[in-house]
Amino acid sequence: MKKLINRPEDVVKEALAGMEALHAELIRVDYESQVIVRADAPVQGKVGIISGGGSGHEPMHGGFVGCGMLDAACPGEIFTSPVPDQMLAATRAVNGGAGVFYIIKNYTGDVLNFEMAAELAAAEDIEIASVVTNDDVAVQDSLYTAGRRGVGVTVLLEKIVGGLAETGASLEAVAEMAQRVNANGRSMGMALTSCTVPAIGRPTFDLDENEMEIGIGIHGEPGCRRVPLASAAEVTEMLVNPILEDLELKAGERVIAFVNGMGGTPQIELYVMANELAKILRGKNITIARSLVGSYITSLEMAGCSITLLRTDDEILKYWDAPVHTPALRWGI
């Protein structure tokens, strides 16, 4: 195992310390509860937006804490759900009196722990609403989920809902927008290599040199099939066609296209994939209204990518375009 770490058991807390040291104008870290909070939280009269999950997917979620996106993030240990006490501490830290909204990826531990945190917060008279993202078309159930996994749409949703919340929108309006985004987005990913959890010290799974896994999960969960290596054009087809079919996208519609790296894939290869995606969508008269290309929801050092398409309209684009200033995503500031 070759990693830039000190001790495996210290990776998460030392990474949090690094984030705070370099982004103190944007975030603060509560080390006792292991929560990343927006520097100016709580913002009075604003719905607080919280997400969280296991570490190892950086920059999601801590890199998205800041103006125009998340008010707090709850990082668990690597590939391990955060606990309800973390989520409750984050809820208290961002509660500005307008309620708090949870963005939960559909992994069993995340869902159960956020539900428990919501009950604890309600006992303190904090109003909670939530969405469970479940955009992965690759598999119906997996090692960590009942139903579809929450993957790339989570990043897009955090940006759009975060932009809406900055306008002073109500908790009900934020919840409605989140449900709308989740319902109109789909994703699928693939892997060329496995990844290695520092505390384990060996690859999560094995792939032969001439193999790739289609439909992989962000924790290295098995996909829908293992196939021989193929060209970028062929891989893009394998990922995009199930998304188009599931979303029932039609000619004339617009999308936000997200080509995401899994952690070990260079940007140049992501743009090769983006080019293939653009060709497919042009051929179907589907317009890419906005795009995001880069490694934003990763699986440690896994080589591979995912593609997310979100059916969009003028209102969604308004909040996508709204200013954002976080450690990992910023524009319009």
Q: Which residues are catalytic?
A: 57, 219
Number of residues written out for the chain? 333
Helix (H, G, I), strand (E, B) or coil at 173: helix
* Nearest alpha carbon to residue 181 among 285, 54, 308: 308
Nearest to 144 by CA among 117, 182, 106, 114: 106
Closest CA relative to residue 190, chosen from 261, 247, 251: 261
What's the rounded Cα separation, in Å, for the pair 269 and 291?
Answer: 16
Three-state SS for 58? coil
| Alpha carbon distance 161, 173 (integer Å) | 9
φ, ψ of residue 128 in degrees (nearest 5): -125, 140
Beta bridge partners of 227: 212
**Angstrom distance (rounded) from CA 167 to CA 22:** 28
